[in-house]
Amino acid sequence: MFARLGPWCHDKRRLVLVLWILLLIGANALSGSIGDNYRQDFKLPGAESSAGFDVLNDKFGGQGAGQAGTIVFKADRGVNDQQVKAAMSEMFDKVAKIKGISRVESPYAPGGERFVSAQGPGAGKVAYANVEFPEDTDFAQVPAITDKVEAAAPKIDGLQVELGGNIFATFEPPTSEIIGLAFAIVILILAFGSVLAMGLPIAVALTGIGIGSALVILFSHIVQVPEFAPFIGVMIGLGVGIDYALLIVTRYREQLHANHTVRESVQIAIDTAGRSVLFAGITVVISLLGMLLMGVGFVQGLAVSAAATVAVTVLASLTLLPALLGFAGPGIEKRRRAGLIAAGLVALGLMGVGFNFKPLLAAFGLAVVVVLAGFFVPALKREVEHRPAKPRRETLAYRWSRGIQHRPWLAAIASAVVLLILAVPVLNLRLAFSDESNYPQDTSTKKAYDLLVDGFGKGYNGPILLVTSGSGAVDPAALGAVRAAVAQDPNVVFVSDPIPNNPQSPTAVLWNVVPNSGPQDEATTQLVSRLRKTVLPPVESQVGTQIAVTGITAANNDFAHVLSSRMPYFFLAVLALSFLLLMAVFRSLLVPLKAVIMNLLS
């Protein structure tokens, strides 16, 4: 099959190129017209936090069950200053009326005194309001809602207003892939010495990413796909796309140097390197789909979308690339100065984009000037001389491989020891979600976090909820033992009185618990575990009701626990399937066993 695929794509290169262009345009046009439906639900079937969310939805109208943010403010004159109170109350009223916001808990409302700082230097000067979003919030609409909230903030001397919580955080698309692309251009130029040889792997990778990203948007309407899935797809697609195409282009150039025709070189490259690309791509897809075993909706969606991007990239490497090689022909070896200089300038410009250093953006314009000048300036038209290739036995790769083969046991043991030493931190690896303390200092998210820490303590950035419900009426007064027991925990700084869902005829009650540690701190994880295993069970027996520990902080801990508990099954499934695939390819037990051990160590 491979021996026929390469020549066919070479002979039908115009048709192949047109089909890929139509696929790229069509997929993006379709995804653009439909739009995305990114979402991520942290509710885990069977988890205690999920049971608590169900109570909040059924009994409290969703209070505490959806995404939440905070409006944190600091007033030098005090938050109860009449001008400050009037201005902030007006802001809270406006925010409560914004479409997409379900509830605003104001510090000026009855019972809102707990939202005003009463400790430290910020006592009476720092306060906050909780802003809740519906559980089914469309994250694509959140930036517009955030803009409206920011526009409602009053402008008063001595008043600082910040928006806290992940829901309000400004998401900055990562630029690491752009920096990686710049380095790839430089490395490929140094490796090949040719702009065309450099450009083909990058073109194939970008084509695969372009179609894969469109597929991610389409998949978001079928499965639960998180908002960051496209960036994961770009990261993986760029890496494997350049890697796979590089392998094929290298083999193609080797065959040209061996005096094969262009068609023969394409055929041999796809028949040899193409096989490696296919099976390597299948292995990556299997590894990504192994995340389906996690049993978490948005993780499964992430797995499917990333696997689709890799699959498209592999297909492009096996079909589009041989067609492009047919167009390039022997010209892939050309090394004109204008092209090399322009490629270097483009890489420099990409570095400017990645590091947000605007002066380097001028490199893009200079690259265009160099390309145009290359048609007229003789010095730029001139080709860089090819360095004569070293005899194979004198190359570094040959000497390295021979050295390893002469001392295989020494190399194997030494490399295994190094890998094991590097893997030691995994023994203390703790899975958790990062909180807002990790945001840059100049963001409103980080400023709001710091204000809450100064005014209330770290735990106010990640409160815990306790909920209970009954089939009939619930007497909050009979549940006083719950507050007393929880308050005795050394990592609890505040426990609210029981809050009924209906003061006249309560059928459910909730408590707000504020830890002394931040949401991502291990002490908070331990607190959640203690509440469930040690603190609450005796009280539940005493009051005769089940109490669920829930809220976003508890849900994040449940999610991390599920991931860590299912990680061994994930590794086992991926390694087993990879072993079977490689065994079928190489018809050997030793080769796949070696590959599995290397993958596990690395």
**pLDDT class of 49 with cuts at 50, 70, 90:** confident
Using the Cα atoms of residue 128, residue 134, residue 139 and residue 143 in order, give the sign of their dihedral: negative
**pLDDT class of 120 with cuts at 50, 70, 90:** confident
pLDDT at 553 over 80: yes
CA distance linking residue 370 with residue 521, whole number of Å = 54
Dihedrals φ, ψ of 208, to 5°?
A: -60, -40
pTM of the model: 0.80
**pLDDT class of 570 with cuts at 50, 70, 90:** confident
CA distance linking residue 204 with residue 315, whole number of Å = 10
Q: How far is CA 172 from the centre of its chain?
A: 12
pLDDT of residue 71: 92
Q: What is the pLDDT of residues 131-156, one digit of tens each?
A: 888 877 777 788 888 899 999 999 98
Nearest C-alpha neighbor of 316 from the set 578, 9, 29: 9
pLDDT of residue 27: 93
**pLDDT class of 22 with cuts at 50, 70, 90:** very high
Are residues 314 and 281 in contact, defined by beta-carbon separation less than 8 angstroms?
yes
Domains 68-164 and 462-550 alike in fold: yes
In DSSP notation, 471-520 reads SS---GGGGHHHHHHHHTSTTEEEEPPPEESSSSS-SEEEEEEEESS-TT
Nearest C-alpha neighbor of 69 from the set 157, 142, 136: 142
Average pLDDT over residues 160-184: 80
Q: What is the pLDDT of residues 438-469, one digit of tens each?
A: 888 888 888 988 888 888 888 888 888 888 88
* Alpha helical stretches, state H, 152-223: 176-192, 195-219
pLDDT at 39 over 90: no
Average pLDDT over residues 91-97: 91
Average pLDDT over residues 240-260: 89
**pLDDT class of 190 with cuts at 50, 70, 90:** confident
pLDDT at 252 over 70: yes
CA distance linking residue 35 with residue 264, whole number of Å = 44
pLDDT at 358 over 70: yes
pLDDT of residue 23: 95
pLDDT of residue 48: 84
Q: What's the half-sphere exposure (Cβ side, CA atoms, 13 Å) at 388?
A: 3
Antiparallel, parallel or unpaired: β 68-75 and 103-105: unpaired
pLDDT of residue 26: 94
State percent of the chain over pLDDT 90: 17
pLDDT of residue 460: 80
List beta partners, residue 548.
467
pLDDT of residue 562: 82
pLDDT of residue 557: 85
Encoded amino acid at 3, one letter: A
- Structure-block tokens of residue 444: 């409103």
* Alpha helical stretches, state H, 220-358: 229-257, 262-289, 297-328, 337-354
Encoded amino acid at 130, one letter: N
pLDDT at 20 over 90: yes
List beta partners, residue 103.
132
Q: What is the pLDDT of residues 407-421, one digit of tens each?
A: 888 988 898 899 889
CATH superfamily, with its number, for domain 68-164: Multidrug efflux transporter AcrB pore domain like (3.30.70.1320)
Q: What's the half-sphere exposure (Cβ side, CA atoms, 13 Å) at 448?
A: 26
CA distance linking residue 535 with residue 528, whole number of Å = 10
pLDDT of residue 578: 83
Using the Cα atoms of residue 557, residue 560, residue 564 and residue 566 in order, give the sign of their dihedral: positive
pLDDT of residue 398: 82
pLDDT, mean over the chain: 85
pLDDT at 65 over 70: no
pLDDT of residue 64: 67
Are residues 266 and 274 in contact, defined by beta-carbon separation less than 8 angstroms?
no
In DSSP notation, 237-275 reads HHHHHHHHHHHHHHHHHHHHHTT--HHHHHHHHHHHHHH
Average pLDDT over residues 317-330: 92
pLDDT at 42 over 70: no
pLDDT at 382 over 70: yes
- The domain 462-550 is placed in CATH, from the list 3.40.50.2300, 2.60.120.1360, 3.30.70.100, 3.10.450.240, at 3.30.70.100
Dihedrals φ, ψ of 383, to 5°?
A: -90, 145
pLDDT at 107 over 70: yes
List beta partners, residue 287.
none
pLDDT of residue 43: 67
**pLDDT class of 471 with cuts at 50, 70, 90:** low
Domain boundaries, the chain: 68-164, 462-550
pLDDT of residue 232: 86
Nearest C-alpha neighbor of 186 from the set 198, 176, 197, 171: 198
pLDDT of residue 171: 62
Are residues 581 and 279 in contact, defined by beta-carbon separation less than 8 angstroms?
yes
